[in-house]
Structure 1
Amino acid sequence: MNNNKMTNYRWYVCAMLFFATTVNYLDRQVLSLTWKDFISPEFGWTDVHYGTITGCFSFVYSIAMFFAGRTVDYLGIKKGYSWAIALWSLGACLHAFCGIATAGIVLDSWSMTFSGAREHIEIARNAGTAMMGISTVSMWLFLIARCILASGEAGNFPCANKTISAYFPQKDRAFATSLFNSGSQIGAMLAPFTIPVIARYWGWEMSFLIIGLLGFVWLGIWLKTYDAPDNNKRMNKLELDYIRQDENKAENETKPTEEPKEKVNIFKYFTYRHTWAIFASRFLPEGVWWFFLFWAPAYVKDIYGYSSDSFMGMMLIFTLYLITMLSIIGGYLPTFLVNKKGLSPFGGRISSMFVYSLFPLLGIVAPFLGVHSCWYPIIIIGIIGAAHQSWSANAYSLVSDLFPKSVVATLTGLAGMVGGLGSFLFNQGSGILFTYSRESNMSFLGFEGIQAGYMIVFLVASIAYILSWFAVKSLTSDIKK
C-alpha cells in the first residue's frame, strides 16, 4: 500500500451502502408494482386493503426504527447491518408464499406450487365463494410478511447513517449520504422494468422471491469485506486522518449537546429542542415520499389506465425516478455553500433545505396540467422526489450535526419512527380517501371521483416541506452562525 497517497476505502463503503439501499427499495417496490394488476384481481383487494397494508408497514417500520437504532449502537455497524438485511430479505421472500397459505387456510386446498394455489383461488372466485375470506386472510398474511420486511428494513438507514458518520468528515457527510441514498432512486428505476416482467411471465410470487434473494448476496460480500476504520487494513493513515479531521478541530461549536460521559436515558433526548427539530424534518416529508413510492403505479393506472407491465406504464415510472436522480446534484449544495460561500456546515445544511422545500410547491399545479398530458404530473412528481431525496440526505445529517456520534444511530432510529408514523397516517388516510372518493364521486377544485382524491393528496404533499423547514428553523434558532 502506498502510504504517500491517500486511499479511498471510504468510497467503497459508500458504494456498499448504495447497493444495500438499492436492494432495500427494490424489495419495497415489488408490492406497489404488482398489487393493482396481479395481486388485487386474484384476492379481490380494494384501495382500503392496500392502504391498510402500506399503512401498517409504515407503522411497524416506524416502531422498528427506534429499536433498530438502539440495536445498531449496541451491536455495532457490521453486526447490526448484517442482522437487518438478513431479516428484511427473509420478509421479502415470505411474500411469495402468501397465496399458497391463503388457499390452504381459506379453501383447505394446500398446494406445493404457486400456480396450483392460484388455480384453487381462481376456481373459488369464479364460483363466487369465500371471496371475503380470501381477501381478508390474504391481506393479513401479506401484513405479516410486510411487518417482517419492515422490521429489517428499518435498520438500513440507522446503520448507513452511523457508517457515514464513522467514515466521512462532517463537511462530506451530506454528499456521501446523497450518494448512497440515490440507491433508493436506482432501485425504484430498475423496479418497473424488472418486477412487472417477472410477475407477468413467472408469476408475482417469483418477483418477491428473486428480489428478496439479492439481499443475501449483499450480506455475504458485507461480512467478508467490511471493517471499522480503526481496524481496517485496506486504508492508510492519510485516509484515517482525513476521516478524523473534525476531531482535531473545535467541531463542537455547533453541537450544544456534548458527548455524554455516561449512558443517557433515551427519554432525556425528548427534552432537547434539537431532537424535535430532527423529528420535524422527517414527519411530513417521509409521508409524501412513501406515498409516491407506494401509490405512483396505482396513480398511473387509476388516472391514465396504464398497467404496470405495459410499456407506457414502465416508461412513466422509470422517468419519474430518473428525474429524482437530480438529488445527487442537490446533495452537493451544502458542500458548495460551506467551501465556496464560507457557511458553517449547519448553516449550509439549513440554507440548502430551504431551497429543497420550494420545489414541491409545483405539485399544486400537477393535477391541472395532468388533464393535458400524463407526462406533466410524472415530471413534477419526479422533481418532488429529487427535492425530497436532497432534503432527506440533509435531514439524516442533521443528527450528526446536532448530537455526538455515540447516539447517532439511536436518534436516527427515533427520527425514522416519527417519519414512519407520518407515513402511516399518509398512506392509511390516502387509501380511505380514494375509496371514499370513488364511491361518493366527490368533487374538489373542479375534479371528481378518484381524481379529486389525488388532488387533495397533491395539495398536502406540496406544502409539507416548507412547513417542515419553518419548524426546523425555529427549533434550531439557538445555533450560532
Structure 2
Amino acid sequence: MKTIKHFRWYMILLVCVITIVNYLDRTALGIAAPTILDATGISKEQYSWVVSTFQLAYTIGQPIIGFFIDTIGLRLGFAICAIIWGLATMGHALTGTWQGLAFMRGIMGFSEASAIPVGIKTASIWFPAKERGIAAGIFNMGTSFGAMLAPPLIAWCILFQGWQFAFVVSGSLALIAAIIWFIFYRDPNDAKKLTAEEREYIEAGKEDHLEINNKEKVSFMSIITQRNFWGIGIARFLADPAWGTINFWVPIFFVETLHFSLKEIAMFVWLPFLMADLGCLASGFVAKFFNDRGFSLINSRLITFTIGAILMMTIGFVSIVEDPYLAVFLISLGGFSHQLLSTVASTLGGDLFKKNQVATVVGMAGACAWSGQLSFNLFIGAFVGLIGFGPFFIALAFFDVIGAIILWIFIRENKTQPTNFQLETN
C-alpha cells in the first residue's frame, strides 16, 4: 500500500474537522436563542436551565467518556459519540419547551464530552512531545472554528426555514462526521499508510516515563491523588466560564445591550471565534518559542498560560465601554486569550500523564472546567436581569490570573510519575 508522508498531520486535521462539527452543533443553540425565546416564551432563567443541563451532562460525561475512549479505543468510541450527539441535535427540532430542549441538551452534552479527550489523546499518541502543543492547537482550532461557522449557517437556516431547520442541518453534519471518522481514522500501529521513518520519528520523540505496558489499567484514584491533576483541574475550573459566556450568552448580550439585529449577530458574533482559532494555533508556537530558548517543556506551557491570563484581563473593560464595536473587539481578544491558555491547560494532560490515562485525565479536568462553566452560567441566569452583564465580564478578567498562580504552585515536572499526592508533596 502506498504510504503518505507527514501522515500524523492528516490525522490531527481529521480530529479538527470532527471537532468543528462538534462545536458548531453545541453553539447552534446560542445563535438561535433570541429567536427560540421569542417564539416559545421561554424565559432567560429557563434558558439558563437548558444551558445548565448541557453543562451538567457535559461535566459528568467527560471523565466517563474519557475512560470509555481509553478503554474502547479512539476510532469506534468517537464514532459512537458523534452519532449520539448528532441525533440529539436533530431532536431539538421536535420540541418547543424548555424541558424538551433540556432533555436533548443533556444527551448532547454527555456525548459531545468526547471531543477534547479524543483530540488530546490523538495528539499524545501521534506526535512527539516537541510537536504535541502545536498538534493540540491545530485540533483545538476546531472548537472555535465550529463556533465561528455557526452564526452565519444557523442565522441563514432560521431566516430560510425556521429555527427547527437549523438543528436538523447541524445534527446531520455530525452523522456525516461519524462516518468520515470511522472510515479514515487509524491508530499509529494500525496505520498502513504511515511511513517507517515517520513511525520511528514519532516514537523517538515520546517520553519514556509516559509509556505503558499492556497490563496497566486506568485508575481514577491514581489520577485524583496527583497534585498535577489538581493544578490542571483548578486552572480549567477558573478558565472555562469565559468560554461558556462567549458561547451561550454573548449573542444575547449583543441583542440586549448592544442592540444588534439577527443579521448583525451573524456579521459580528463569529469574530471572537476567529480570534480564538488564532489563540489555539498560537498556543503551541508560543510554548515552542520558550522551549527552544532553554525553558523546559512544562515551564514553556506555564509561561504561555500566564501570557494568556494577562491578556484575558482586557475583557473586563467590556463592562464600561459604550462603543459596540470596541466591545466586540475586547470580547474577541478574550476569545484569543482564552484559547491560548485553554489549549495549554488541556495539553498538559498529555505532557504529564501516561498514554493510557490521557483521555481519562483530560475528561476529569474537563469536568472541573465545566463545573466552573455551570456555576457561572447559573449566576448569570439568576442575576443578569438585576445587575446586567458588566460584573460578569469583570470577574472573567481575574479568574485566569488566579488559575496561572495555581498552575505554578501545583505543577511538578517529574521524570517518574508518582501515584500518590502525599508522596509528591514531601
- Per the normalisation by structure 2, the TM-score is 0.93
- 5 Å matches for 1:156-167? 156-167=115-126
Task: For 2:349 and 2:371, locate their aligned partners in 1 and report how far apart those are by CA, in whole Å.
Answer: 19
Deviation for aligned residue 1:381: 1.0
Q: Does 2:18 match 1:65?
A: no
Question: Aligned to 2:254, which of 300, 312, 336?
Answer: 300
Name the structure 1 match of 2:397: 462
Q: Does 2:274 match 1:322?
A: yes
Name the structure 2 match of 1:185: 144
Query: SS of 2:5's equivalent?
Result: coil
Q: Does 2:408 match 1:473?
A: yes
Task: For 1:350 and 1:260, locate their aligned partners in 2 and report how far apart those are by CA, in whole Å.
Answer: 32
Deviation for aligned residue 1:251: 4.8
Q: Deviations over 1:262-290 (max 9, x none)?
A: 43531232221111011022101112111
Deviation for aligned residue 1:318: 2.4
Q: Does 2:370 match 1:416?
A: no
Unaligned runs of 5+ in 1: 100-137, 438-451
Name the structure 1 match of 2:315: 363
Query: SS of 2:257's equivalent?
Result: helix
Question: Aligned to 1:284, which of 238, 246, 253?
Answer: 238
Task: For 1:387 and 1:85, locate their aligned partners in 2 and report how far apart those are by CA, in whole Å.
Answer: 28
Name the structure 1 match of 2:420: none
Residue 362 of structure 1 aligns with an amino acid whose one-letter code is T
Name the structure 1 match of 2:290: 337
Q: Does 2:207 match 1:213?
A: no
Q: Does 2:76 match 1:79?
A: yes
Q: Are the structure 2 counterparts of residues 356 and 141 from structure 1 closer, same or farther at C-alpha, using a change threshold of 3 Å?
A: same
Q: Is the 8 A contact 2:276 2:337 kept in 1?
A: yes
Q: Are the structure 2 counterparts of residues 407 and 194 from structure 1 closer, same or farther at C-alpha, using a change threshold of 3 Å?
A: same
Name the structure 2 match of 1:133: none
Name the structure 2 match of 1:27: 25
Task: For 2:274 and 2:195, locate their aligned partners in 1 and report how far apart those are by CA, in whole Å.
Answer: 37
Unaligned runs of 5+ in 2: 416-426
Q: Deviations over 1:170-201 (max 9, x none)?
A: 11111111111111221122111110121122
Q: Does 2:16 match 1:40?
A: no
Question: Aligned to 1:234, which of 190, 193, 211?
Answer: 193
Task: For 2:213 and 2:302, locate their aligned partners in 1 and report how far apart those are by CA, in whole Å.
Answer: 23
Question: Aligned to 1:152, which of 111, 118, 121?
Answer: 111
Q: Does 2:265 match 1:313?
A: yes
Deviation for aligned residue 1:64: 0.4
Task: For 2:48 and 2:275, locate their aligned partners in 1 and report how far apart those are by CA, in whole Å.
Answer: 26
Residue 284 of structure 2 aligns with an amino acid whose one-letter code is G
Residue 134 of structure 2 aligns with an amino acid whose one-letter code is F
Query: SS of 1:191's equivalent?
Result: helix
Q: Is the 8 A contact 2:218 2:356 kept in 1?
A: no
Residue 460 of structure 1 aligns with an amino acid whose one-letter code is A
Task: For 2:382 and 2:56, locate their aligned partners in 1 and report how far apart those are by CA, in whole Å.
Answer: 16
> Percent identity at matched positions?
27
Q: Is the 8 A contact 2:85 2:109 kept in 1?
A: yes
